[in-house]
Amino acid sequence: MEKLSEEKFDRKKFLKVLGMGLSLVVLESLLKKVNAEEILSKPGTKKRYAMVIDLKKCIGCGACAIACKQENNVPIGYYRTWIKNNEKGAYPYVRDYYLPILCNHCEDAICNRNCPVSATYKTSEGLTLIDYDRCIGCRYCMVSCPYNVRFAHPYRRTVDKCTFCAHRLKKGLEPACVITCMAKARTFGDLNDKGSEIFKLISTNSVHVLKAEQNTKPHVFYIGLDQMLTEAGKTNFEYMKYYRRNVLKELSLSEKDAEGYFNILKGISNSDREYDYRLKSNT
């Protein structure tokens, strides 16, 4: 004790400590602003959301794609989740294979890294979300994503993609595609919860992720993924169309007709307003 009191606590040292402390406080407040989206998780619990899709169960009905469009008001011609379909073999040994695709909510998301205004952000639950009030629409994330899951929303005029139905998760519900799947091929859950269904499925089945070589650590796992499906369609250049394509023209619809037929053409759903966790938590 005596030795300590003898040690001079001079002004230089004091200022040094004070400066360090102040900068830490400033740094922390800065960091806090960025991580404000933690509103999703209850305090004290840390979740890591993920999805398992059992391709042996999937019958390719497309209900998940439709449920997603209804839930999230996705415009005509755009998809947050869709199904890739390919057949293999020859009669009598032939089978259809289906591959539902959605945002993989990668742990090391390259879209998150490349977004110039941090509009794409990772929540503490492992979701990759977009702050629609920040997004400037440079579409760099669209070309960065190795899974092509992002699209330019024609009416909101930002980039959009699957959110794992974050507005439903907040209320304790599962994503729309999961509850609608009649074959129960999709399972959603928390990877950190050792008792959850998804933990059981991943532990007791051989699972694959799409494009593991991209090193993005996806959070969508597939059971029974066939190599053929991941390769198919890459040489068919028809699926990539020139940018800002006119979907209505492709469907030969006038805008007025389309507005009459589909309420999903224009406007932004209620759920969209609930996405902006970051902004809501700041106010």
Degrees to nearest 5, angle at CA 232 with 235 and 49 = 120
Contacts of 194 (CB under 8 A, 6+ apart): none
Closest CB 225 distance from another protein, rounded Å: 13
> Checking phi first, is residue 211 left (phi over 0); if not, alpha (psi -120 to 50) or beta?
left
Quick one: 158 or 196, whose CB is closer to another protein? 158
Could you list the residues that contact another protein (CB under 8 A)?
A: 77, 79, 82-90, 101, 110, 113-119, 134-140, 142-149, 151-152, 157-159, 210-211, 213-214, 228, 231-245
Q: How far apart are CA 146 and CA 212, in angstroms?
A: 10
CB atoms within 10 A of CB 59: 12
Quick one: 1 or 90, whose CB is closer to another protein? 90
Closest CB 166 distance from another protein, rounded Å: 21
Nearest to 275 by CA among 37, 35, 51: 37
Closest CB 244 distance from another protein, rounded Å: 7
Q: How far apart are CA 248 and CA 258, in angstroms?
A: 8
Which single residue is written with the structure tokens 């974050």? Answer: 166
Quick one: 17 or 136, whose CB is closer to another protein? 136
Closest CB 204 distance from another protein, rounded Å: 27
Closest CB 8 distance from another protein, rounded Å: 40
Quick one: 6 or 238, whose CB is closer to another protein? 238
Please name every residue paired with 250 in a beta bridge, in sequence order, or none if there are none: none
Quick one: 64 or 169, whose CB is closer to another protein? 64
